[in-house]
Structure 1
Amino acid sequence: MKTRLTERFGIEKPILCGGLMWLATAEYVAAVVNAGAMGYITPRSYPDEAAFVDALRRCRAMTGGRPFGVNLYISARPEENARMRRWIEILAGEDVRHVETAGYSPVAFLPALKAVGCQVVHKATSVRHAASAAKAGVDAVVLIGAECGGHPGQGDIPAMVLAARALEQIDVPVLVGGGIGSGRQLAAALALGADGVLIGSRMLVADEIWAHDAYKTHLLSLDETGSTTVLHALKNTYRCLANDTAAAVAALEAEGVRDYETLGPLIGGMMQRQAYETGDWSQGVLSLGPAAAWCDRLEPAGAILDRLTAEAETALRSARDRIAPALAPA
């Protein structure tokens, strides 16, 4: 499956496995990379700089020198971005040349990233923001739709709509993200003209994801209705597992609660980590999208990715066989 993405990034599968807060560790990313896709370590998952550097070095050893990436989340709050410059210095020093940016515009950090030779893919929740990032110099864009786990933006527009619109306006490689969990969807994205897909929730049952098996086993029981959205009132929509905490947050919002002082204890990141550690999936606002419906077994990341691409190839061949007669000259 050769696309502009695979050729530029030196990968075999047109799949990016996006950064997962707390879960995108060196072991998981190495497994993704060794399977022929691209993965991104999340530095915010590590307690300090030394632990992050150690993760980069372990990932390089596990991949045998194959390229891998790092996720850099750009916050609306400047103080949250204070570590960004240092992380870029670390990437340069550790010879990491693939970066996934998310959140707010990457424009302020692009010169530094490009100066050290990074390939940058930016995740955007609107065509306008994707076009702006492409114009600023990113190497690829991912159009993240309302189906994605985590922050899907405020537009509530499906991923395929965003990607189709972006393909009409943007010259750099365009990927589809949000709700992607099957090979049929990968095939659909490629048929649309996209250069690949970005997946997250589908990978949560990978053996290399360190979360407790009780949490991962619960995911196996879900269908496409297993996620919900909260924090609409704060204009910070978050798609997550439908559990007790999500229901409590929704109830508070319905009562008119709008302050982080009240909601903070429920939506804080440490509560998420505790859920992953203990397996108590009823607690915490746990990022999840409807792609979890395709989580059908616990298996290595490489097996998941191989199944996805095999399904996509089958779907593309089937489409060719069904459609070719209609396209034949009269």
Structure 2
Amino acid sequence: MLKTRFTEEFGVEHPIVQGGMMWVGRAELAAAVSEAGGLGIITALTQPTPEDLVKEIAKARELTDKPLGVNLTLTLSINQPPYAEYRQAIIDSGITIVETAGSDPTVHVEHFKEHGIKVIHKCTSVRHALKAQRIGVDAVSIDGFECAGHPGEDDVPGLVLIPAAADALTIPFIASGGFADGRGLAAALSLGAAGINMGTRFMCTTESPIHEKIKEQIVEASELDTQLIFRQLRNTMRAAKNSVSEEVVEILGKGGRFKDVQELVAGTRGRKVYENGDSEAGIWTVGMVQGLIKDIPSAGELVTRIAAEAESTIRGTSDLVVDPVPVG
């Protein structure tokens, strides 16, 4: 068994986290991950109202009594969700771990900490991780450039970002972006992380609520089948490469602005991809790590497999260290 600061401080068996994913982080998937010894996370804003979030958490609690988290992603949009109400729903439901992402989480961190809730904040750079540490989060999830969704604007991959974070932080952190198997977990631990956060890999599990055709497409795809959009707007997003993402890149590359692509990138279109299985229906996020995904197991099987592979990999590396042969 692998023991890290993350497993000890967050009370999980394996240092494996299923990160919050819009339209994907639902009760069945999160509960399956937690029941297997990882940390499953329900995505709060996937639920249309705070009351629906309470029901979703209750549904997950019927499936597992192990540690369970909720993701609360913070945006600066004009029509913001009722964050205070979602936050209270999380508190009232007895959740003990929250993953925050997006804009400054200070107010939310303060409220969650008052109720004894541990907070993990998702960051894309060491400087943002240090700020999160200063405001009192218990851990950070640091996203390398390989990740799905928003990788930030620094373009630093995990092989550099993870040890840089290890050198700078005093709180535990988990590595995110580019992880799909035990080799990745072993590598992250050797670079200084206390665990890994996976999104794309958990999309391809039997409990994942996305259409089977999309899961199969991810399995067939390579690491080259993603597209970076919004680069010109300095709001870079990694999405699946399809006709829609290529059109967005073309329009913005010719000087277009967000208003010119707004209809193409609407979240409602992306949701239809997951629901109907039409990968060309809109923008949908996936990481470069899809090139390493070869099957669609249950979430529980995936967690135990990765943990076992990582332990075997770490034990196997001891064979690389040999004592020098005395001369003379």
Going from structure 1 to structure 2, the CA distance change for 1:257 and 1:327 (only over 3 Å counts) comes to farther
Shift of 1:283: 2.4
Whether the 8 Å contact between 1:134 and 1:140 is mirrored in structure 2 is yes
Using the alignment, how far apart are the partners of 2:20 and 2:194 within structure 1? 19
1:103-147 Cα distance to aligned partner (Å, 9 max, x none): 122112211010111110111111011011111110001111111
The equivalent position to 2:299 in structure 1, one of 295, 298, 301, is: 301
1:71-104 Cα distance to aligned partner (Å, 9 max, x none): 0111134752x52211121112110111001112
Question: How many residues are aligned here?
Answer: 326
TM-score by length of 1: 0.95
2:271 is matched with which residue?
273
Structure 2 gap ranges (5+) = none
2:59 is matched with which residue?
58
1:317 is matched with which residue?
315
2:68 is matched with which residue?
68
1:255 is matched with which residue?
254
Whether the 8 Å contact between 1:179 and 1:289 is mirrored in structure 2 is yes
Shift of 1:268: 1.1
Using the alignment, how far apart are the partners of 2:299 and 2:83 within structure 1? 29
Shift of 1:47: 2.1
Shift of 1:326: 4.7
Using the alignment, how far apart are the partners of 1:122 and 1:327 within structure 2? 45
2:50 is matched with which residue?
49
- 2:157 aligned with 1:176, yes or no? no
Whether the 8 Å contact between 1:243 and 1:283 is mirrored in structure 2 is no
The equivalent position to 1:283 in structure 2, one of 281, 284, 302, is: 281
Alignment of 1:189-228 (within 5 A): 189-228=188-227
Using the alignment, how far apart are the partners of 1:327 and 1:145 within structure 2? 37
User: Partner letter of residue 202 of structure 1?
Assistant: R
Whether the 8 Å contact between 1:148 and 1:177 is mirrored in structure 2 is yes
| Range that drifts further, 310-319 or 3-12 | 310-319
What RMSD over aligned residues (CA atoms) do the two structures have, in Å? 1.6
TM-score by length of 2: 0.95
2:27 is matched with which residue?
26
Whether the 8 Å contact between 1:160 and 1:176 is mirrored in structure 2 is no
2:4 is matched with which residue?
3
Runs (4+) off by over 4 Å: 326-330
1:215-274 Cα distance to aligned partner (Å, 9 max, x none): 111111012112121110111100011111111111111221113x22111111110111
Q: SS at 1:310's partner residue?
A: helix
User: Partner letter of residue 322 of structure 1?
Assistant: L
Fraction of identical pairs, as percent = 35
Q: SS at 2:264's partner residue?
A: helix
Using the alignment, how far apart are the partners of 1:328 and 1:118 within structure 2? 54
1:14 is matched with which residue?
15
Q: SS at 1:27's partner residue?
A: helix
Using the alignment, how far apart are the partners of 1:131 and 1:23 within structure 2? 29
Using the alignment, how far apart are the partners of 1:7 and 1:85 within structure 2? 30
